[in-house]
Structure 1
Amino acid sequence: MTFSVVARDPTTGELGIAVSSCILAVGRAVPSARPGVGVVAVQARSRRGLGGRLLSGLAEGAAPADLVRRAAHAAEDADRQIAVLDASGRIAADTGQGSFPVSGHLVGDGWSVQGNMLASTEVLPAMAQALVAARGGLPDRLLAALTAGQDAGGDLRGRQSAALLVVSGDPATDEDDGVRMDLRVDDSGDPVAQLRMLRNLQRAYDERDYEMLALFAPEGARDLYAAAAASGRGDREAARTALEAMRTRPGWSAWLAAMAGDSRLSAVSRLLD
């Protein structure tokens, strides 16, 4: 019913998972991750609490292979499918004998792909090949694999939801929760494409790509990003026009005044002086 990819970035140490399925809100059910500990995929007919238990096992120092072996021998988990990746890159996966056909998993160096009730036997090899060939950061590589799986047929039943979760390879602290990306598409006719769009939007926020945000941010904030984009390219008149449009909305004029000292807006807000 689900196909997923888990992987570790050998350069940054980040750990992540991308998953898609023809169920509602797969991001609630399949992926689990803990910064500095590991990431787990729990799918097919796995018990809902298994992900947390596997992460706790990793935190206690157990090897992924040992955790997977224990789950494989548990009678109540005969229909489960799991993948376990720890912070050092050790990986193990297993597909229970009772899992839905077409089912299976492939394991490589610091990664695995797994799926059940797949449209064809080509889904998992396509995902593995795309993951290994992809360039860029871990989120982009995970999405490349997920996209390849969908293009090869994905879930036999169709499409509904997808999720992308990436965490730091270092433990969380009071200053940093370690979550690098947590995006979910709970109900969509093309969830993998929607997830890619959200990843691009997240990149725009992270990199302050105001030109893109002026087009794709929520409607109420687009004028603000349009002003920032225009100011960045030296078009003071366009920036002033966008800000004036914002000031006509109830409450926005006071908000702009309050944000005048913010380094992200000071250059823009001075256009209204």
Structure 2
Amino acid sequence: MTFSVIARDATTGDLGIAVSSCILAVGRAVPTVRPGVGVIAVQARSRRGLGTALLAGLAEGRSPQELVRHASHAAEDVDRQIAVLDATGQVAADTGRGSLPASGHLLGEGFSVQGNMLASPDVLPAMSAAYAAAGGSLADRLLAALTAGQDAGGDLRGRQSAALQVVTGHPATADDDGVRVDLRVDDSGDPVAQLRMLRNLQRAYDERDYETLAVFAPEGARDLYAALAASRRGDRAAARTALEAVRTRPGWSTWLASMAGDARLSAVSQLLD
């Protein structure tokens, strides 16, 4: 009913998972993730608490191989499918004999792809090859694998939801929760495509791509990003027009005044002073 990829970025140490399924809100059901500890995928008819138990095992220092081996011998878990990745990149997976066909998993260096009730036997090889060949950040490589899986057929029943999570390879602290990406599409006719759109939007926020945000940010904020974009490219007239539009909205003048010390806004707001 689900296909997913879990992986560790050997350069940054980041850990992540991308998953899609024809169920509502797969991001609630399949991933269990903790910065500095690992990533778990629990699929098919796995017990709901299995991901939490496996993650606790990683936190205690048990290896993915040991945890998967123990789970595979549990009589109540014959219908489950699991994949376990620790913070060092060790990975193990198992597909229970009762899992829905077509099912399976493939292991690679620091990653694993797994799925059940797949539309085609090509889904998992396509995902594995796409992840291994992809460049860019871990989030982008995970999305490349998920996209390849969907293009190869994905879930036999259709499409509904998808999720993408990336965390740091070191534990969370009071100053950094360790979460780098946490995006979910809970109900969509094309959730993987929607997830890619969300990832691109997050990238625009992270990289301060004001030109993109001026088009795709929520409508109420687009004029602000248009002003920032125009200011960055030196178009004073466009920046002034956009900022005047912002100030016509109730409450925004007060907010702009409170942001006077923000380097991104100070140069723009001076256009109206």
Could you state the TM-score of these two structures normalised by the residue count of structure 2? Answer: 0.99
Structure 1 SS opposite 2:175: coil
Counterparts of 1:266 and 1:100, CA distance in 2: 58
Counterparts of 1:44 and 1:269, CA distance in 2: 55
Deviations 1:223-258 (A, max 9, x none): 000000000000011001001011111111111111
Deviations 1:20-68 (A, max 9, x none): 0000000000011111110010110011111111111000000000000
Counterparts of 1:255 and 1:178, CA distance in 2: 29
Structure 2 SS opposite 1:41: strand
Q: CA deviation at 1:272?
A: 1.5
Counterparts of 1:173 and 1:71, CA distance in 2: 31
Structure 2 SS opposite 1:175: coil
Corresponding letter in the other structure for 2:218:
P
Q: Which residue of 2 aligns with 1:199?
A: 199
Q: Which residue of 2 aligns with 1:24?
A: 24
Deviations 1:131-183 (A, max 9, x none): 00001110000000000000000000000000000000011111000001000
Q: Which residue of 2 aligns with 1:55?
A: 55
Counterparts of 1:255 and 1:121, CA distance in 2: 55
Counterparts of 1:24 and 1:36, CA distance in 2: 29
Counterparts of 1:132 and 1:68, CA distance in 2: 23
Corresponding letter in the other structure for 2:124:
L
Structure 1 SS opposite 2:196: helix
Deviations 1:68-124 (A, max 9, x none): 011111111110000000000000000001100000000011000000000010000
Counterparts of 1:151 and 1:32, CA distance in 2: 25
Q: Any stretches of 5+ residues in structure 2 without a counterpart?
A: none
Counterparts of 1:62 and 1:269, CA distance in 2: 56
Q: Which residue of 2 aligns with 1:251?
A: 251
Do structure 1's residue 168 and structure 2's residue 168 form an aligned pair?
yes
Counterparts of 1:89 and 1:265, CA distance in 2: 42
Structure 1 SS opposite 2:93: strand
Range 242-251 or range 113-122, more displaced? 242-251
Counterparts of 1:2 and 1:267, CA distance in 2: 49
Q: Which residue of 2 aligns with 1:239?
A: 239
Q: CA deviation at 1:261?
A: 1.3
Identity of aligned residues (%): 82
Structure 1 SS opposite 2:263: coil
Counterparts of 1:160 and 1:265, CA distance in 2: 40
Structure 1 ranges of 4+ moved more than 3 A: none
Q: Which residue of 2 aligns with 1:75?
A: 75
Structure 1 SS opposite 2:107: strand
Determine if contact 1:6/1:41 at 8 Å carries over to the other structure.
yes
Q: Any stretches of 5+ residues in structure 1 without a counterpart?
A: none
Corresponding letter in the other structure for 1:41:
A
Give the total of aligned pairs.
273
Counterparts of 1:272 and 1:28, CA distance in 2: 47
Counterparts of 2:129 and 2:12, CA distance in 1: 21
Q: Which residue of 2 aligns with 1:66?
A: 66
Structure 2 SS opposite 1:264: helix
Do structure 1's residue 214 and structure 2's residue 228 form an aligned pair?
no
Q: Which residue of 1 aligns with 2:15?
A: 15
Counterparts of 1:271 and 1:46, CA distance in 2: 59
Counterparts of 1:51 and 1:271, CA distance in 2: 54
Q: Which residue of 2 aligns with 1:42?
A: 42
Q: Which residue of 2 aligns with 1:118?
A: 118
Q: CA deviation at 1:264?
A: 2.3
Could you state the TM-score of these two structures normalised by the residue count of structure 1? Answer: 0.99
